[in-house]
Structure 1
């Protein structure tokens, strides 16, 4: 662990990115217990998506630099009929043995990224409705603070649930492209929160790496002013307290308690965009977890490149062990 000096690292930051928590206190943050009907709602949504045939068109595959993969843009029809864009990628010279379902942060995604995708993996890169580069304004507002509260009055319409269902639909597409391979989730920030919401309900997932996840532990999240999407949610609930009960259905820390696969969590001690108590609340929810504690999240700091390299290596090793464990299970 790098010795952190936050006052020197972030001298102009007005928010204390620790929110008064040291690591010991963060490790005591508990997930939010499930609201009645929580599991049934998410299981029903997953069953609905799994029953929808994958309808999609694949563009031309293009090699990614000198790397091991080639990627193509796809257009597909979501479960609610919205037509969205995403990317798929396949190994150039190898037969894939796993699919990486790779979500993204609130900045959207400009292109596929392969740091966490092994050479022998296929990948789908869901791009959240409303967000760049392929789905700007489609199915949801493009502006972050409008996006995160879009449809919040109705669980069936709330954008976070829609984004999870879209992610599952890209898994259906992966099945059509490469057959019934195991799926491993990778998600950071927005994508980590959406990934944690998605993970427990779809048995194609064998594990995950979740990085500085959002949408976790709303008791802590709503008490913490921040620079991220949580601030728009905090202000919304302050003006409309009745929305707090709906958010109980979309708490990534609660969803994590239902996951039964190995999960690697990378959670930060300092973060002004996704407050650390929320991240550690998500981590606490996973029963089979490997925790890497980061000095800071959503920020540049001395030594960050080395931390990122170790994080990526650790995630790849977690996937390797997860696949190894899968192959060693007794066949039924």
Structure 2
């Protein structure tokens, strides 16, 4: 296994960091109002009635009953997605699955869990939760409301995740405290922000998560959503005040439940130093595991083998016990 050496970018997606250097990165200092900001938002989100509505889905699968789902999030935002229920066994766990910035056009039927109700929400403004004037283009979506922390789109997406947990508990009250979260890239960063403030979530799996270490995120070249924020910052220097409240690494330092992180040594869309900032921030007193991939957001030799091993770890991590 080795990192890619042939790539079409005008920058090195390792950013010159070796594994030892990546493991040494620490999160930035938290703003003084970080915890109060998120706790207040969580309290408000818990006061929202999600009013879940299940419908017949056009999709079918031999292992899963597939339902379309719509629920209400904060700001009366209607969130669409899918709910998978196992055809065999009873529901013993819940799992919310977040998506990358490309959105989602169907649930992941190969998710390696059993006896689990799996909810796939589309975060506000994206895919089944699109709503004008919010752009579904990541380059614009990531800027929506960025000048006002209380209105920044990322905060609404975190609340969509919390309301997804509320939906599962509304449908299956016995799942309170037995709901996990899994998120990739954009969904990984949203998960890191959400998990420490919601005690109903008992474990989390984040793959190549973004929004970690915002001071670094603003300086490293990228083909991801960070590029448009970097361009925005050139004329709005004070944007760092908003972004400091949405730093996934700062939030990760507050996570107190078991976590499974998958981070990459090479990634043109989410800089590895920012991914490792999140993994390294997790408190050492808790049960966490970090898996290092050769690359993220990029095809590479050996990727199938690495992801197969990761999938087996995910199966054990979310086992319905």
TM-score range, shorter-chain basis? over 0.9
Q: Check if 1:33 corresponds to 2:34.
A: no
1:203 aligns with one of 199, 202, 206: 199
2:129 alignment partner, SS class: coil
Structure-1 separation of matches of 2:247 and 2:219: 15
**Aligned residue in 1 for 2:303:** 304
Structure-2 separation of matches of 1:319 and 1:237: 39
Q: How far off is 1:93 after superposition?
A: 2.5
1:176 aligns with one of 170, 185, 188: 170
1:231 alignment partner, SS class: helix
Distance 1:42 1:160, change over 3 A: same
Q: Check if 1:228 corresponds to 2:227.
A: no
**Aligned residue in 2 for 1:285:** 281
**Aligned residue in 2 for 1:313:** 312
Q: How far off is 1:62 after superposition?
A: 6.4
1:19 aligns with one of 15, 18, 32: 15
Structure-2 separation of matches of 1:46 and 1:117: 29
Structure-2 separation of matches of 1:194 and 1:92: 30
Structure-2 separation of matches of 1:63 and 1:272: 33
**Aligned residue in 1 for 2:90:** 95
2:219 alignment partner, SS class: coil
Q: How far off is 1:144 after superposition?
A: 0.9
User: CA deviation digits over 1:300-330, x for unaligned, max 9?
Assistant: 011111111111111222223xx65xxxxxx
Structure-2 separation of matches of 1:117 and 1:174: 19
Q: How far off is 1:36 after superposition?
A: 0.8
Q: For residues 34-113 of structure 1, what are the structure 2 equivalents within 5 Å?
A: 34-60=30-56, 64-66=60-62, 68-113=63-108
On the 8 A contact 1:69/1:119 being kept in 2, the answer is no
User: CA deviation digits over 1:88-141, x for unaligned, max 9?
Assistant: 121112211111110000000010103334121101111011112x12335721
On the 8 A contact 1:101/1:126 being kept in 2, the answer is yes
Structure-2 separation of matches of 1:89 and 1:177: 13
On the 8 A contact 1:63/1:69 being kept in 2, the answer is no
1:89 alignment partner, SS class: strand
On the 8 A contact 2:49/2:72 being kept in 1, the answer is no
Task: Detail structure 1 runs of 4+ shifted over 6 Å in the superposition.
Answer: none
Distance 1:128 1:145, change over 3 A: same
Structure 1 unaligned blocks of 5 or more = 325-332
User: CA deviation digits over 1:159-186, x for unaligned, max 9?
Assistant: 0000010111111111111113111110
**Aligned residue in 2 for 1:124:** 119
Distance 1:138 1:101, change over 3 A: farther
Structure-2 separation of matches of 1:300 and 1:77: 37
177-186 vs 290-299, greater mean Cα deviation: 177-186
How large is the Cα RMSD of the aligned pairs? 1.5
Structure-1 separation of matches of 2:54 and 2:132: 19
89-98 vs 267-276, greater mean Cα deviation: 89-98
Structure 2 unaligned blocks of 5 or more = none
Distance 1:180 1:49, change over 3 A: farther
- TM-score of the pair, normalised by structure 1: 0.91
**Aligned residue in 2 for 1:238:** 234
User: CA deviation digits over 1:54-112, x for unaligned, max 9?
Assistant: 2132112567422x211211122212112221211211122111111100000000101
On the 8 A contact 2:69/2:80 being kept in 1, the answer is yes
- TM-score of the pair, normalised by structure 2: 0.94
On the 8 A contact 2:112/2:311 being kept in 1, the answer is no
**Aligned residue in 2 for 1:156:** 150
